[in-house]
Amino acid sequence: MLVEVGNKTTKKASSTTAAGAVGRPSSEQDRSRFQNVVLPHLADAYELAYWLTGNRADAEDVVQEACLHAFRGIGGFAGINARAWLLTIVRRTAYAWLKENRSAALVMVDDLVAVEEKQAKQCTASGEVGTPEAALIAKADALRLESAIVTLPLPFRETLVLRDIQELDYREIAEVTKVPVGTVMSRLARARHRLSASLAVDAP
């Protein structure tokens, strides 16, 4: 894991958000399922929202809205991977929020497709993403690391956060971000490269 971002604060804020978002359930069955499926992963949901929005208050708003979507759609949850299901909703909600509130900050994935297709094939063929960058990242202090992460383009940032902070595997990240595994590996490699370059420049 790269960095811990106030776990106690995160869990407290997320639990409060969930309570405010759900309100009165339409049925006890929905309420029970929501509690079992969503509540165990609220800290991860808030953490992802925070990294995508870069602001704790905005992250609260995103998670609250995502909880509403999750509660309304709880009947459609297939029961396979609750964490990935919730993070998918959080990511979609965060992108909608960013588009409405910070359109200039939203880096469109289409701009990356040409380069990623080539790199995705290389990453898939090798079977693993390079690790020299990961070694440098691991040595960085939390404050420098956080500052560097928030400057990454959004598709790179979310991939890095999902893999190196929330420790999802490539298949889970592909499920959350709705891109092929090869693209996940390509974005992760490029995110780590950019991050390590930034950390090297800012090194004391």
Residue 100 shares a structural domain with residue 184: no
Residue 114 shares a structural domain with residue 196: yes
Residue 69 shares a structural domain with residue 11: yes
User: Confidence band (pLDDT; 50, 70, 90) for 103?
Assistant: low
> Could you tell me the end-to-end alpha-carbon distance of the chain, in angstroms, rounded to an integer?
23
Last-in-domain residue among 105, 126, 160? 105
* CATH number (domain holding residue 146): 1.10.10.10
Residue 127 shares a structural domain with residue 189: yes
Residue 97 shares a structural domain with residue 142: no
Per residue in 34-47, pLDDT tens?
999 999 999 999 99
* Mean pLDDT of the region 60-85: 94
Residue 32 shares a structural domain with residue 64: yes
Burial of 11 (0-12, 13-18, 19+ CB in 10 A): middle
Per residue in 139-177, pLDDT tens?
556 677 888 888 899 999 999 999 988 999 999 999 999
Residue 23 shares a structural domain with residue 67: yes
64 falls within a domain: yes
pLDDT reported for residue 9: 40
Last-in-domain residue among 105, 135, 156? 105
Instruction: Indicate the average pLDDT of the chain.
Output: 77
pLDDT reported for residue 129: 47
* CATH number (domain holding residue 96): 1.10.1740
Question: Which residue segment(s) compose the domain that 126 sits in?
Answer: 109-202
Contact of 123 with 189, CB cutoff 8 Å: yes
- Does the pTM surpass 0.85? The reply is no
1 falls within a domain: no
